Chains A and B, each alone.
Chain A
Amino acid sequence: MLNISGIHEGFVLDHIQAGMSLQIYHDLKLDKLDCTVAIIKNARSNKMGKKDIIKVECPVEALDLDILGFIDHNITVNVIQGDRIVEKKVLSLPTEVTNVIKCKNPRCITSIEQELDQVFQLTDPLKEVYRCKYCEEKYINPARRKTK
């Protein structure tokens, strides 16, 4: 069994759907952080069978929870300070995400208007459907749990 030591300060993202950790690494822009990052793939999990885990040693305010909630709100965020878990953050689906996904509708105004933010709004929390604020193009997160 592979052992990765604990962290002194930072966060542990647990219960990531197996195979999704690298996408999350990029979406959270962890590659831009100058800190230690451990990506654990296919760890054994009683609940999920297999899961991914990401450990990041950095100040917790560096994390954008809105984006993480959008990627998969079932991920557990453990906040670590002084080698201990001080908080377990609950993620929720953000009602609006800005400049995270790009509208793919070629007829949408976002395809031509200069410096217009890409805004998607949550229109169906149950089915986790987001729609472009401008043209209402549908977006369903591919990372959505298949077990639901």
Chain B
Amino acid sequence: MRHLISPLDFSVEELDKLLDLANDIENNPDKYAEACKRKKLATCFYEPSTRTRLSFEAAMLNLGGSVLGFAGADSSSAAKGESVSDTIRVISSYADICAIRHPKEGAALVAASKSDIPVINAGDGGHQHPTQTLTDLLTIRSLKGRLDNITIGLCGDLKFGRTVHSLIHALVRYENVKFVLISPEELRVPEYIREDVLKAHGIEYKEVERLEDAIGELDALYMTRVQRERFFNEEDYIRLKDFYVLNKAKMEMAKEDMLVLHPLPRVNEIAVEVDEDPRAVYFKQAQYGVYVRMALILTLLGIEV
């Protein structure tokens, strides 16, 4: 039985197939409207989430299936001390597929090892969030037409941002992808990403501190939030924070077809004035998140339409 625990669980070929399916769903939604009739998705969310859970639920409802589940550990048996292993064994007899979010790293892997139904990792603490990575890949591929031969800028908190790490892992498997890593010194990508992922794959990359210095060469810009509490002192935060705010003035320096992505929620790192720019695709990205989750549910359930 197939699960999705890490963004690298699918080979490049399998990923291509999944993204093709997502695009077909986008173009022919009616064809898939009853594909999961009488199937049930359990959403087991041990910590709060709005977008991810609703995206999963929307995906299953679009496929004609139903959803059940809980949101928040307080309303689940975890509050009574039940283990993840026991919970998933029980859920296995209620639903056909399960999406799990849990604050502890590795929880989804534990669930998968005890489950009789496919398990999708919907986020395990600061560790992995593979469906966000699939969403990012589908967005870039659909709007750029390719995942190879691109220069992608990753901007903001590159140290703690799990979506950034997963995206780097996934993109190094494609030909001629260049990375521009834009962050303050304190929030550079961890050493293991530079050594074990970028250098190990012979990937071209550079690190810069100011977004203005790099924005002109990018095919896609992936923005993340720079949080005040990540800085060692207030002075550095004040000095650097504006470097990482994308506004109209900075967009004027960018290529005409550069994409702006963001995993959301956005706080103030992208000025609202940018939303009207056709290159701002972060809300479209949320829509692609539903398509890719629909494709994922069908793939893991082995349903062909």
Once bound together, how far apart are the Cα atoms of A124 and B195, in whole Å? Answer: 12
> Contact between B102 and A109 (Cβ–Cβ < 8 Å)?
yes
0/1 interface trace, chain B 171-200, chain A, CB 8 Å (1 if under) = 000000000000000000000100010000
> Contact between A133 and B125 (Cβ–Cβ < 8 Å)?
no
Once bound together, how far apart are the Cα atoms of A132 and B104, in whole Å? Answer: 13
Once bound together, how far apart are the Cα atoms of A102 and B84, in whole Å? Answer: 19
Which of the 9-residue segments B18-26, B106-114, B263-271 touches chain A?
B106-114
- The majority secondary structure among interface residues of chain B is mixed
Among residues of A, the one whose C-beta sits closest to the C-beta of B102 is A109
> Contact between B103 and A107 (Cβ–Cβ < 8 Å)?
yes
0/1 interface trace, chain A 91-113, chain B, CB 8 Å (1 if under) = 00000000000000101111111
Residues on A with C-beta less than 8 A from B109 are 109, 133-134
Tell me whether A135 is interfacial, beta carbon within 8 Å: yes
Tell me whether B83 is interfacial, beta carbon within 8 Å: yes
> Contact between B126 and A107 (Cβ–Cβ < 8 Å)?
yes
- The majority secondary structure among interface residues of chain A is loop
Among residues of A, the one whose C-beta sits closest to the C-beta of B104 is A109
> Contact between A108 and B104 (Cβ–Cβ < 8 Å)?
yes
Once bound together, how far apart are the Cα atoms of A132 and B105, in whole Å? Answer: 10
Tell me whether A136 is interfacial, beta carbon within 8 Å: yes
0/1 interface trace, chain B 96-126, chain A, CB 8 Å (1 if under) = 0000001111110110000000000000111
> Contact between B83 and A113 (Cβ–Cβ < 8 Å)?
yes
Asked, given contacts A107-B126, A113-B84, whether A135 binds B105 with beta carbons under 8 Å apart, the answer is: yes
Tell me whether A116 is interfacial, beta carbon within 8 Å: yes
> Contact between B104 and A116 (Cβ–Cβ < 8 Å)?
no
Once bound together, how far apart are the Cα atoms of A131 and B20, in whole Å? Answer: 34
A109 to chain B, nearest CB (A): 4
A94 to chain B, nearest CB (A): 20
Residues of B within 8 A of A (CB): 83-85, 102-107, 109-110, 124-127, 192, 196
Question: What are some 5 contacts across the A-B interface (CB < 8 A)?
Answer: A108-B104, A109-B102, A109-B109, A109-B124, A112-B104
